[in-house]
A and B are shown apart, each in its own frame.
Chain A
Amino acid sequence: NAGVTQTPKFQVLKTGQSMTLQCAQDMNHEYMSWYRQDPGMGLRLIHYSVGAGITDQGEVPNGYNVSRSTTEDFPLRLLSAAPSQTSVYFCASSYSGRGLETQYFGPGTRLLVL
Protein backbone atom coordinates (compact mmCIF):
# COMPACT_ATOMS: atom_id res chain seq x y z
CA ASN A 1 0.00 0.00 0.00
CA ALA A 2 1.92 3.03 -1.27
CA GLY A 3 -0.65 5.67 -0.22
CA VAL A 4 -0.43 8.86 -2.28
CA THR A 5 2.50 9.13 -4.65
CA GLN A 6 3.65 12.14 -6.65
CA THR A 7 6.13 12.49 -9.48
CA PRO A 8 8.46 14.17 -10.12
CA LYS A 9 9.89 15.28 -6.78
CA PHE A 10 11.57 18.29 -8.32
CA GLN A 11 11.27 20.03 -11.69
CA VAL A 12 12.76 23.10 -13.34
CA LEU A 13 10.84 24.68 -16.22
CA LYS A 14 11.34 27.66 -18.45
CA THR A 15 8.57 30.22 -18.83
CA GLY A 16 6.05 29.03 -21.40
CA GLN A 17 6.86 25.34 -21.14
CA SER A 18 4.17 22.85 -20.28
CA MET A 19 4.28 19.87 -17.96
CA THR A 20 2.12 17.44 -16.02
CA LEU A 21 2.50 16.71 -12.33
CA GLN A 22 1.43 13.16 -11.60
CA CYS A 23 -0.55 12.01 -8.58
CA ALA A 24 -1.76 8.50 -7.84
CA GLN A 25 -3.39 6.79 -4.87
CA ASP A 26 -4.02 3.11 -4.22
CA MET A 27 -6.61 3.45 -1.45
CA ASN A 28 -9.68 3.56 -3.71
CA HIS A 29 -10.44 7.10 -2.59
CA GLU A 30 -13.10 9.03 -4.46
CA TYR A 31 -11.93 12.49 -3.41
CA MET A 32 -8.62 13.90 -4.65
CA SER A 33 -7.25 17.40 -4.63
CA TRP A 34 -4.26 19.55 -5.50
CA TYR A 35 -2.76 22.26 -3.28
CA ARG A 36 0.09 24.66 -3.71
CA GLN A 37 2.26 25.93 -0.89
CA ASP A 38 4.08 29.24 -1.08
CA PRO A 39 6.45 30.81 1.47
CA GLY A 40 4.58 32.51 4.30
CA MET A 41 1.25 31.17 3.12
CA GLY A 42 -0.73 28.10 3.88
CA LEU A 43 -1.63 25.43 1.39
CA ARG A 44 -4.19 26.70 -1.12
CA LEU A 45 -6.61 24.50 -3.02
CA ILE A 46 -6.13 24.51 -6.81
CA HIS A 47 -8.57 21.87 -8.11
CA TYR A 48 -10.40 18.93 -6.67
CA SER A 49 -12.28 15.86 -7.87
CA VAL A 50 -15.08 13.93 -6.17
CA GLY A 51 -14.83 10.94 -8.47
CA ALA A 52 -13.76 9.74 -11.89
CA GLY A 53 -14.95 12.18 -14.54
CA ILE A 54 -15.84 14.93 -12.03
CA THR A 55 -13.58 17.88 -11.30
CA ASP A 56 -14.06 21.40 -10.01
CA GLN A 57 -12.07 24.52 -9.28
CA GLY A 58 -10.65 25.44 -5.93
CA GLU A 59 -9.31 28.72 -4.64
CA VAL A 60 -6.49 29.33 -7.16
CA PRO A 61 -7.28 27.44 -10.40
CA ASN A 62 -5.94 29.87 -13.01
CA GLY A 63 -3.13 28.44 -15.13
CA TYR A 64 -3.88 24.82 -14.20
CA ASN A 65 -5.96 22.06 -15.76
CA VAL A 66 -6.99 18.71 -14.33
CA SER A 67 -8.84 15.62 -15.43
CA ARG A 68 -9.82 12.42 -13.67
CA SER A 69 -10.19 9.47 -16.01
CA THR A 70 -9.60 6.83 -13.32
CA THR A 71 -10.17 6.63 -9.57
CA GLU A 72 -6.44 6.22 -8.98
CA ASP A 73 -4.93 9.11 -10.94
CA PHE A 74 -5.36 12.87 -10.79
CA PRO A 75 -2.76 14.70 -12.91
CA LEU A 76 -2.25 18.45 -12.77
CA ARG A 77 -1.30 20.19 -16.01
CA LEU A 78 0.48 23.48 -16.46
CA LEU A 79 -0.16 24.55 -20.06
CA SER A 80 2.21 27.51 -20.14
CA ALA A 81 4.33 27.82 -17.03
CA ALA A 82 4.89 31.22 -15.42
CA PRO A 83 7.33 32.24 -12.66
CA SER A 84 4.31 32.83 -10.40
CA GLN A 85 3.73 29.08 -10.49
CA THR A 86 7.00 28.39 -8.70
CA SER A 87 5.79 26.55 -5.64
CA VAL A 88 5.54 23.23 -3.86
CA TYR A 89 2.56 21.18 -5.01
CA PHE A 90 0.78 18.63 -2.85
CA CYS A 91 -1.76 16.07 -3.91
CA ALA A 92 -4.20 14.71 -1.33
CA SER A 93 -6.96 12.12 -1.20
CA SER A 94 -9.71 10.95 1.12
CA TYR A 95 -12.48 8.40 0.94
CA SER A 96 -15.35 10.73 0.00
CA GLY A 97 -14.29 14.29 0.86
CA ARG A 98 -17.12 14.64 3.37
CA GLY A 99 -17.29 14.79 7.13
CA LEU A 100 -14.13 14.57 9.20
CA GLU A 101 -12.29 12.07 7.06
CA THR A 102 -8.53 12.07 7.23
CA GLN A 103 -6.92 13.49 4.13
CA TYR A 104 -3.77 11.68 2.98
CA PHE A 105 -1.07 13.78 1.38
CA GLY A 106 1.67 12.94 -1.07
CA PRO A 107 5.29 14.02 -0.44
CA GLY A 108 5.03 17.02 -2.77
CA THR A 109 6.56 18.22 -6.03
CA ARG A 110 8.87 21.22 -5.91
CA LEU A 111 8.54 23.29 -9.10
CA LEU A 112 10.84 26.11 -10.17
CA VAL A 113 9.84 28.22 -13.20
CA LEU A 114 12.61 30.41 -14.60
Chain B
Amino acid sequence: GDSVTQMEGPVTLSEEAFLTINCTYTATGYPSLFWYVQYPGEGLQLLLKATKADDKGSNKGFEATYRKETTSFHLEKGSVQVSDSAVYFCALALMFSGGYNKLIFGAGTRLAVHP
Protein backbone atom coordinates (compact mmCIF):
# COMPACT_ATOMS: atom_id res chain seq x y z
CA GLY B 1 0.00 0.00 0.00
CA ASP B 2 0.86 3.66 -0.06
CA SER B 3 3.30 4.68 2.64
CA VAL B 4 5.97 7.15 3.73
CA THR B 5 9.18 6.23 5.54
CA GLN B 6 11.30 8.77 7.40
CA MET B 7 14.60 8.46 9.17
CA GLU B 8 14.23 7.83 12.87
CA GLY B 9 15.12 10.56 15.29
CA PRO B 10 15.96 12.32 17.31
CA VAL B 11 18.44 14.22 15.20
CA THR B 12 20.70 16.39 17.34
CA LEU B 13 22.79 19.12 15.71
CA SER B 14 24.79 22.15 16.68
CA GLU B 15 23.70 25.55 15.44
CA GLU B 16 24.82 26.29 11.85
CA ALA B 17 25.23 22.59 11.02
CA PHE B 18 23.86 21.09 7.79
CA LEU B 19 20.59 19.20 8.08
CA THR B 20 19.28 16.27 6.06
CA ILE B 21 16.16 14.34 6.99
CA ASN B 22 15.54 11.41 4.67
CA CYS B 23 12.10 10.58 3.33
CA THR B 24 11.10 7.88 0.86
CA TYR B 25 7.66 6.91 -0.32
CA THR B 26 5.69 4.12 -1.93
CA ALA B 27 2.62 5.13 -3.90
CA THR B 28 0.49 4.12 -6.82
CA GLY B 29 -0.01 6.95 -9.26
CA TYR B 30 1.68 10.32 -8.98
CA PRO B 31 1.44 11.80 -5.52
CA SER B 32 2.20 15.31 -4.37
CA LEU B 33 4.77 15.51 -1.60
CA PHE B 34 4.89 17.67 1.51
CA TRP B 35 6.95 18.50 4.55
CA TYR B 36 5.08 19.60 7.65
CA VAL B 37 6.67 20.96 10.83
CA GLN B 38 5.33 20.85 14.37
CA TYR B 39 6.84 23.27 16.87
CA PRO B 40 6.44 22.48 20.58
CA GLY B 41 2.87 22.93 21.76
CA GLU B 42 1.54 23.77 18.30
CA GLY B 43 -0.26 22.03 15.44
CA LEU B 44 1.38 20.89 12.23
CA GLN B 45 2.21 23.61 9.70
CA LEU B 46 2.96 23.19 6.03
CA LEU B 47 6.67 23.83 5.45
CA LEU B 48 6.99 23.13 1.72
CA LYS B 49 5.54 21.05 -1.07
CA ALA B 50 6.25 19.69 -4.56
CA THR B 51 3.72 18.50 -7.08
CA LYS B 52 5.72 16.62 -9.74
CA ALA B 53 9.05 14.99 -10.46
CA ASP B 54 12.11 17.27 -10.21
CA ASP B 55 10.11 20.04 -8.54
CA LYS B 56 11.94 21.70 -5.68
CA GLY B 57 9.98 23.04 -2.74
CA SER B 58 11.58 25.66 -0.54
CA ASN B 59 10.69 27.79 2.46
CA LYS B 60 12.53 29.38 5.41
CA GLY B 61 15.88 28.07 4.12
CA PHE B 62 14.61 24.49 3.85
CA GLU B 63 14.57 22.67 0.52
CA ALA B 64 13.38 19.33 -0.80
CA THR B 65 13.43 17.92 -4.34
CA TYR B 66 10.86 15.44 -5.65
CA ARG B 67 12.96 12.53 -6.97
CA LYS B 68 10.75 10.07 -8.81
CA GLU B 69 13.61 7.73 -9.76
CA THR B 70 14.52 7.16 -6.12
CA THR B 71 11.01 7.84 -4.73
CA SER B 72 12.50 10.30 -2.28
CA PHE B 73 11.84 13.79 -0.93
CA HIS B 74 14.71 14.51 1.46
CA LEU B 75 14.58 17.69 3.52
CA GLU B 76 17.74 19.83 3.69
CA LYS B 77 18.88 23.06 5.28
CA GLY B 78 22.34 24.51 4.98
CA SER B 79 22.59 26.09 8.43
CA VAL B 80 20.15 25.21 11.18
CA GLN B 81 19.16 27.48 14.04
CA VAL B 82 17.95 26.72 17.55
CA SER B 83 14.52 27.94 16.44
CA ASP B 84 14.36 25.06 13.93
CA SER B 85 13.99 22.56 16.77
CA ALA B 86 10.72 20.77 16.04
CA VAL B 87 9.22 17.56 14.70
CA TYR B 88 9.25 17.23 10.90
CA PHE B 89 6.72 15.11 9.02
CA CYS B 90 7.01 13.97 5.44
CA ALA B 91 3.68 13.30 3.71
CA LEU B 92 2.18 12.45 0.36
CA ALA B 93 -1.23 13.31 -1.03
CA LEU B 94 -3.29 11.02 -3.18
CA MET B 95 -6.72 11.51 -4.66
CA PHE B 96 -9.51 9.38 -3.32
CA SER B 97 -13.25 9.15 -3.82
CA GLY B 98 -14.95 12.36 -4.80
CA GLY B 99 -11.72 14.02 -5.89
CA TYR B 100 -10.60 14.72 -2.36
CA ASN B 101 -7.01 14.49 -1.21
CA LYS B 102 -5.84 12.03 1.40
CA LEU B 103 -2.64 12.78 3.27
CA ILE B 104 -0.39 9.87 4.24
CA PHE B 105 2.23 10.79 6.83
CA GLY B 106 5.56 9.45 7.88
CA ALA B 107 6.24 8.84 11.58
CA GLY B 108 7.96 12.19 12.09
CA THR B 109 11.57 13.07 12.90
CA ARG B 110 12.42 15.13 15.96
CA LEU B 111 15.19 17.70 15.45
CA ALA B 112 17.01 19.28 18.38
CA VAL B 113 19.45 22.11 17.65
CA HIS B 114 21.86 23.21 20.38
CA PRO B 115 23.66 26.58 20.58
Which listed residue, A44, A58, A105, A108, touches B45 by the CB 8 Å rule? A105
A89-110 Cβ-contact flags toward B at 8 Å (1 or 0): 0101000011111111111100
A98 close to B43 (CB less than 8 A): no
A98 close to B4 (CB less than 8 A): no
Contacts known (A43-B89, A90-B43, A107-B43); A100 close to B49, Cβ less than 8 A:
yes
B100 close to A31 (CB less than 8 A): yes
Q: How many A-B residue pairs have CB under 8 A?
A: 56
Q: Is A4 an interface residue (CB 8 A)?
A: yes
Question: From B44, which residue of chain A is reached at the shortest CB distance?
Answer: A105
A80–B4 Cα gap in the complex (Å)?
A: 31
B99 close to A98 (CB less than 8 A): yes
CB contacts (< 8 Å) of B86 on chain A: these are none
Q: Is B32 an interface residue (CB 8 A)?
A: yes
A31–B46 Cα gap in the complex (Å)?
A: 17
A92–B34 Cα gap in the complex (Å)?
A: 15
Q: Is B104 an interface residue (CB 8 A)?
A: yes
CB contacts (< 8 Å) of A58 on chain B: these are 102
A98–B95 Cα gap in the complex (Å)?
A: 8
Which of B63-71, B74-82, B105-113 binds A? Answer: B105-113
CB contacts (< 8 Å) of A53 on chain B: these are none
A90–B100 Cα gap in the complex (Å)?
A: 19
Question: From A96, which residue of chain B is reached at the shortest CB distance?
Answer: B100
B44 close to A99 (CB less than 8 A): no
CB contacts (< 8 Å) of B38 on chain A: these are 105
CB contacts (< 8 Å) of A108 on chain B: these are 43
A100 close to B100 (CB less than 8 A): no
Which listed residue, B4, B32, B36, B102, touches A100 by the CB 8 Å rule? B32
B104 close to A42 (CB less than 8 A): yes
16 A-B pairs with CB atoms under 8 Å apart are A31-B100, A35-B105, A41-B107, A42-B91, A42-B105, A42-B107, A43-B44, A58-B102, A92-B43, A97-B100, A98-B100, A100-B32, A100-B49, A100-B51, A102-B46, A106-B43
